[in-house]
Chain A
Amino acid sequence: MKEKRKIKKMGELGVFAVLVIIFVIMSFASPVFLKTSNLINIVRQTVEIGIMAIGMTFLIIAGELDLSIGSLFATTAMFGGYLFKNETVPATLVFFLVLIGGIVLGCVNGLLVTRVGIPSFIVTLGTMKIYRSFAYAIGGGQSIGQFPESATNSWVWALGAKINGIPVQIFVMIGLFIIAHILLKKTTYGYQVYATGGNARAAHLSGINVKNVKLIAFAIMGFLCATAALVSTAYLGTVTTTSGAGREMDAIAAVILGGAALSGGRGTILGTFLGAIIMATVKNGMVLLSVPVFWQDGFIGVVVILAVLVDLFFHKNDSER
């Protein structure tokens, strides 16, 4: 009994073991892998997916899914890019407008799911297309870049800067992971998310407003997509209409790699963090090892399946699964 509790406490052990294996292999296979600059790159390349995967963790634990996040990312990025470029309002206000925009779009998804009763898969499949159209329409089909000094000299652009060679966005991502972990593990809302995903009916009967729990999770998702969009805009100095395409699957894969159950009720922020790092490390490793480009996607798929198998092994006696 005591050992079972111990294993439960080490819920991320499986995914951590996978990460260790990959690090051991890569450190022997590539002389470049363990260089500080490369390790910083891996974490930097985790940021965009990592931030969005935080929101996806809340949704998946609550028993929902969001396929529109790549398009939501693009829409908020284009919206911000348009405002920055045209100097419509001060940069600080643009920052908050983009975040509010993300929350609003997230709430649209949430309301359609919780109030209208359409399954999240269908709702977000639809909004994935709608939000992508918004992105095209805002930019008139064009990229937005070469921003004026009112934007590039503002504090918002610090999100894309580096301090002693370390990108600020890494600190932003880590900060968000810590906040999300506290929210999920130490607050009533976090408990309600697990309860909702574990058994929505039981949660409802015990007095939890399941609809609101899910709506808030969608709003968090929108907020985090907008945050990732702001970070990306400040870092790249440009916004493209194709931004975020395909990122929804990467974010879902990171969450599942992290040990979450698609059926809901199970998952952790730490697990998602490790899952996102694994995704970035494998992608980085493929390049360093000169794996032929056509096989790289396939190899990532194999790693996802293997990692879930390892996780299953560690949780084979876990009744929560």
Chain B
Amino acid sequence: MMKKLLALVLGGAMVLSMGVTAFAEEADINIAFVMHAQNGSFYTKLSDGAEAAAKDLGITVNVTAPNTASSLQEQIGLLETAVASEVDGIATVTWDPSGFNGIIAEAAEKGIPVIGFNQDAEGCGSVAFIGQAYEKAGYSLGKYMFDLMGGEAKYIIASCGPTDVALVAREAGIDRAAAEYDGVEKIETIDIGTDLTNAYGVIENALLAHPECTAVLGVDCFSEAIGNVIEDQGLIGTVYGAGFDLTEGMLGHIKNGSVQLTVGQNPFLQGYYSVLELYLNKAYGSDFLNIDTGAQMVTADNVNDVQPE
């Protein structure tokens, strides 16, 4: 009985595997696109860009991400699998200051270039970075908001990952802008996490604890929670809001006045250009270049001209 069952199971497995093989066809150029999270429309835009590039170029791009957002251990595991698979190139988000150095060096030893997109740790070994100049973008956000508020503000920074390289840089940019105004004072940085419901509660609590707060400034794609709280609590005109990325919710908040500014960074292009550069290097030996995908300032004046990302 036991032998028959095992034979049946193994036979079934063989038949199944034949079917699965059809999905694992070999391609001339194979690129691993390893994100750091997948829980939001922003990340979908990143992967959309990579997949569009794959389609346009006729190559294979395997998009993966950790099950737990910003899990270094899981992301390293995915990168190890990509290196073991001997892919032609890897695009990834090196959000930790030094955690990716080892795996990038290992990839380099095997001749696999690793390009950084969205976030890139200084000195991590990536061949180029496709993304926003984060500190500069944070500074632009700070300048716009503090000017708008007449140089008088008490602000809270809302960050979904207070240790992430890019978010730390954006926060530093905002703080640099704040230092230029005598009447601007930072209250604290709050960790809103990577879930909008949780973010809402954290921001709500922070505003309760600091009634003197006049601005909540986000540094990531979960900034739309700021607008939700300001709108729901009837704080429009009392508390200013701003943040990053062109999510549908954020654009809606700008339209109804609960948030004054959001800064786009074109995640689709970040995904697309990462794959494109790896392809060009593999196919034609072209050198890698850093590409700044910009800081698109979206306010009530131009919100109707932009598409959600």
Contacts and interface: CB of A to CB of B under 8 A. Distances in A.
Contacts of B6: 17
Interface residues of B, number: 50
B84 A236 contact: no
Contact of A28 (B21, B78, B86): B21
Given A30-B24, A293-B64, A284 B81 contact: yes
A124 interface: no
Given A236-B73, A240-B72, A143 B84 contact: no
Interface centre among A17, A237, A240, A246 (most CB of B within 10 A): A240
Contacts of A37: 83-84
A245 B193 CA distance: 12
Nearest to B33: A293
Contacts of A141: 162-163, 189, 191
A22 to B, nearest CB: 8
B77 A238 contact: no
Interface string A1-36: 000000000000100010011001111111110010
A321 interface: no
Contacts, number: 135
B163 A142 contact: yes
Given A25-B20, A32-B84, A145 B10 contact: no
Contacts of B48: none
A290 B83 CA distance: 15
Contacts of A27: 17
A235 B100 CA distance: 11
Contact of A236 (B20, B63, B85, B102): B102
Nearest to B168: A142
A35 B87 CA distance: 14
A44 interface: yes
Given A21-B13, A45-B77, A296-B67, A241 B24 contact: no
A58 to B, nearest CB: 23
Contacts of A297: 67
B163 A240 contact: yes
B132 interface: no
B10 A21 contact: yes
B98 A242 contact: no
A42 B81 CA distance: 8
A284 B191 CA distance: 32
B72 A287 contact: no
Contacts of B162: 141-142
B76 interface: yes
B111 interface: no
Interface string A244-265: 1110000000000000000000
B24 A283 contact: no
A28 B14 contact: yes
B98 A237 contact: yes
Interface residues of A, number: 52
A287 B34 CA distance: 10
Interface string B1-37: 0100010011011101110110110100000000100
B73 A48 contact: yes
Nearest to A250: B67
Given A41-B81, A232-B73, A25 B17 contact: yes
Contacts of B26: 31
Nearest to A240: B72
Interface string B55-73: 0000010111101101111
Given A287-B78, A293-B38, A35 B84 contact: yes
A154 interface: no
Nearest to B161: A242
B252 interface: no
B163 A145 contact: no
A128 B102 CA distance: 30
B258 interface: no
B94 to A, nearest CB: 11
A238 B98 contact: yes
B118 interface: no
A32 B38 contact: no
Interface centre among A41, A136, A287, A288 (most CB of B within 10 A): A287
Interface in A184-233: 232
A38 interface: yes
A25 B102 contact: no
B58 to A, nearest CB: 16
Closest 3 CB pairs of A and B: A28-B17, A145-B98, A238-B99
8 contacts: A20-B10, A29-B20, A41-B80, A141-B162, A145-B99, A237-B99, A242-B72, A296-B67
Interface of B: 2, 6, 9-10, 12-14, 16-18, 20-21, 23-24, 26, 35, 38, 47, 60, 62-65, 67-68, 70-73, 76-78, 80-86, 96-99, 101-102, 161-163, 189, 191
Given A21-B10, A28-B18, 7 more contacts: A21-B9, A21-B12, A24-B17, A35-B84, A145-B97, A232-B73, A236-B76
